[in-house]
Structure 1
Amino acid sequence: MITSLDHMLAATRSKLAELRADHNGRSIVLVGFNTGAALACQVALLENVTSVVCIGFPLNTVEGKRGLPDDNILNLSVPVLFIAGEHGTNSNKDDLEDLRERLRVESGLVIVGSADDQLRVSKSTLYTEGVTQSMVDHCIVVSIK
């Protein structure tokens, strides 16, 4: 039986083939948000990419917590950057640090202060800090570069 995940993997791999044909020799960085971050890691296990950026990576799945000894994410061979909101429910700093320790590749972690899983900061916090969500978003983009 073909699952939705199989379709998403196939579509992503097909798009990568197109990109390689159109931009031969260019580095490919996969960026995924939430479940897209988990998909980006799956694709990185199958395709030759430069690195992966996981925004709001979901640590808990129906099969258990990510990063346990039988989790194939531990077989990644490219650098990974995790970005998570301080108040996110999909992932927390300690669990992400545990996962990073188990990875055999270079990894980084950016925690966006006062942000939720979508990296949004509450209006009251933005007001108190004298910043805008656009400024927060810009800082996130800069941390990816």
Structure 2
Amino acid sequence: MKQLPPRVRRRRRSERRGAQLVEFAIVSMVMFPLIFAALEFVRVGMLESMAENAAYEAARHIMVAGSTKADAIARANEVMGRIGARGVLIEVEAKDKDGVFQSEIDDSTARIRVYVEVPLNKNSFALAHFTGNKTLSATSTMRFESYDGYYDGGG
């Protein structure tokens, strides 16, 4: 007579009670800090990109005649306000063709520079404990566009 293989006894769910909870407790100790760290680094990357964008947009905004430094600061603050950045420092410099700094933008301005600085300790969730007083900064320098002469269209 042919023998049947022995039956494999399956464990009942009630015998494994608590195993999933223990596994979750072990995995979550590693998983949650990694998730929060990833979110923090995404926030820092977003702040850096927005600082670069704010400097660029502010410089583009004032590169034409009739603009003021206050216009650039307002534009950069508007861009940084889109992500709720706090404590942002914005500096605007104007230079003439000889490289001399100017207090205001006028027709003799040749280059403008916008500098945006974002402090990490005021704009991160948990990273401030590790970064101290570190900042992210971005600069955009552009030529000022003005027209001195008259073009009659002739050749």
TM-score scaled by length of structure 2: 0.25
The structure having more radius of gyration, on CA atoms, is 2
Answer 1 or 2: higher relative contact order, Cα 8 Å, separation at least 6: 2
